Amino acid sequence: MTKASRSTFPVHVIEGGRGRDAPQFEIGPVLSHGPREAAAIPHRHEFLEILYVREGRGTHIIDGTAYPIEAGRLYLVRRGQVHAWVTPEPLDGIVVLFDEPFLAGPGAPDPVNLGHYPNMLCPDAGRLPRVEGLLAAMAAEYAEGDDQADPIVRHLLSALLLLCRRFDGFNAPEGPRTGLSAELSVEFSKLVAEKASATLTVRSAAVRLGVTSGYLREVVVTQTGRTPGQIIRSAVLTEAQRLLANTGMTCAQVADRLGFEDASYFSRFFRREAGAPPSAYRRQAREKYQACLGA
């Protein structure tokens, strides 16, 4: 379902009957989650999405990166990312939709930090039966719908996400993933995802989280391998790229949206971080999308 919001993108929400404030989860065939025409329009979610492809081909564009759609692959789209997929024919696959409160609900293992997961995951042939088995078990429990279904689905979903960490090409940062330091790093990541703008600084983030700037830097570097400043700048750049590639906003409007004092400062920031001026990035991103439509 698409709802109106202050976002400049269509925003899809889960249509389940759990109530707005309840943790959300759905699983079903690809075709049950809307027509291909809607999927081809760049949009973002208020939830996380896992797409498993059994059969089909095409292109999945996630935050400006084009991934080939092929059988036996998983695609993870995080909340807030802008994506679209273009397929010459209907896909045979499974879509899993869930929000963070569902994954962190009662009976769940320690939460998995999904910020480190790549958007495309390639299980080796030996692990595909386990992937399909977990998805089938989730679908069966979801259909069961009794009081035990949610805790069982939650564990199965956690098992699938943990299994993904074994796939080739998965690179997670070294360092402890539990305890107060891990929790602070996750809270910082959530803050950046929700509040990324030129006005968010390491100092203001530390104040919001109730710690010193030095302690925040120490924890975030240990947990992620990057400084808080690098993470904030990367998030601001990513949102700028989303707006430039998928909306008709002018550079001045994008600058204002992201809290920059003026368009020239925004342009300097963008060129420094992206290696190209905003206008060139917009042109290249749209050419890439049009090429995918014609593929």
Domain borders along the chain are: 2-164, 179-294
CA distance 279 to 251: 8
**Are 243 and 254 in contact, with CB atoms under 8 Å apart?**
yes
CA distances from 106 to 9, 97, 158 (A): 33, 18, 13
Give CA 270 to chain center in angstroms. Answer: 22
What is the distance between the alpha carbons of residues 78 and 186, in angstroms, rounded to a whole number? 14
User: Given this model, what pLDDT does residue 141 score?
Assistant: 95
Residue owning tokens 């963070």: 100
Taking a C-beta distance cutoff of 8 angstroms, is the pair 139, 93 a contact? no
Report which of 266, 227, 265 is spatially closest to residue 243, judged by C-alpha positions: 266
Domain boundaries 179-294, corresponding CATH code: 1.10.10.60
Calculate the CA 18 to chain-centre distance: 22
Which H or E run contains 85? strand 82-86
| β-bridge partners, 75 | 51, 120
In tens digits, the chain (295 residues) has pLDDT values of 444 344 466 677 666 555 556 678 999 998 755 556 678 888 988 889 999 999 999 999 999 899 999 999 999 999 889 999 888 888 899 999 998 888 876 655 555 567 778 999 999 999 999 999 999 999 999 999 888 999 999 999 999 998 998 887 787 655 445 567 878 988 898 899 889 999 999 999 999 999 999 999 999 999 888 999 999 999 999 999 999 998 899 999 999 999 999 999 999 999 999 999 999 999 999 888 887 766 5
pLDDT at 111: 54
User: According to the model, what pLDDT value does residue 18 have?
Assistant: 58
End-to-end CA distance of the chain: give it in Å, rounded.
27
pLDDT at 2: 46
At 50, which helix (H) or strand (E)?
strand 48-55
pLDDT of residue 181: 81
Q: Which two tokens stand for residue 153?
A: 């689905």
CATH class of 2-164: mainly beta
**What are 268-271's contacts with CB under 8 Å, separation 24+?**
269/198, 269/233, 269/236, 269/237, 270/237, 270/240
- Provide the 10 A C-beta neighbour count for residue 166: 11
